[in-house]
Amino acid sequence: DIGGLLAMHVPMPEGTRLSPDLPEWLRLEIADAVVLFGRMEQEIIEISWILTDADLTQKLKLTKGSTTEKFIAALESVERAEAGLKLDALKEGFKGLAEERNLMVHGAWNMADAKPWVVWHKFLEDDDSIIGEYFEQWRFERFMVKGQHILGMLRQFHDMLEAQTGKKTSAVPRGCA
């Protein structure tokens, strides 16, 4: 459960050796995760264009603000349209990925005793502690597996909506986005 892992922030252990030098594998993992999440965001925005039958002005409005909130709203709209359909697992999975992505993008990365350590001041608890969390390779791997699964579902749903409505929402082919 990603949500449970986000509560892993703990004070920096005494005597921890910090280094700002990030290994190449870590920089690539961060980049891959950010690119994957951006692709999910693109799908969500374009799906919302179809669901709202947006004109150009509305499309521009829909590109602003939280994509997570747009995604949850779109899923809730689909749930209302289909009696008995519950998409809670998908909503929670995406929220968890969004939190991890925010930590990756907004956090300050260091190596702590040769392990990736990310600090995001959103977790600030006092003036005497550095609050952060380890973000090791297994977390990136899990992010990518879950993210690729959600992206695949979004692309399928997007394709279905375009086929049903006859509306094409992007000039960027989904295999390239």
Largest separation between any pair of C-alpha atoms in the chain? 62
Distances in whole angstroms, Cα of residue 162 to Cα of each of 51, 76, 93: 10, 19, 25
Q: CB under 8 Å to 9, separation ≥6 — which residues?
A: 123, 131, 132, 133
Matching residue, tokens 């969500």: 44
Q: CA 48 to CA 140: how far, in whole Å?
A: 28
- Residue 127 is predicted with a pLDDT of 72
Neighbouring C-alpha atoms within 13 Å toward the C-beta of 151: 21
- Residue 149 is predicted with a pLDDT of 93
- Residue 4 is predicted with a pLDDT of 45
- Residue 115 is predicted with a pLDDT of 93
Which residue positions in the chain have pLDDT lower than 70? Answer: 1-12, 122-124, 126, 128-130, 171, 174-177
Q: CB under 8 Å to 172, separation ≥6 — which residues?
A: 42
- Residue 128 is predicted with a pLDDT of 67
Q: CB under 8 Å to 167, separation ≥6 — which residues?
A: 50, 161
Q: In 3D, which of 53, 49, 50, 43 has the Cα closest to residue 62? A: 49
- Residue 142 is predicted with a pLDDT of 96
Question: Alpha carbon 111 to chain centroid distance?
Answer: 23
Contact indicator for 95, 144 with CB cutoff of 8 Å: no
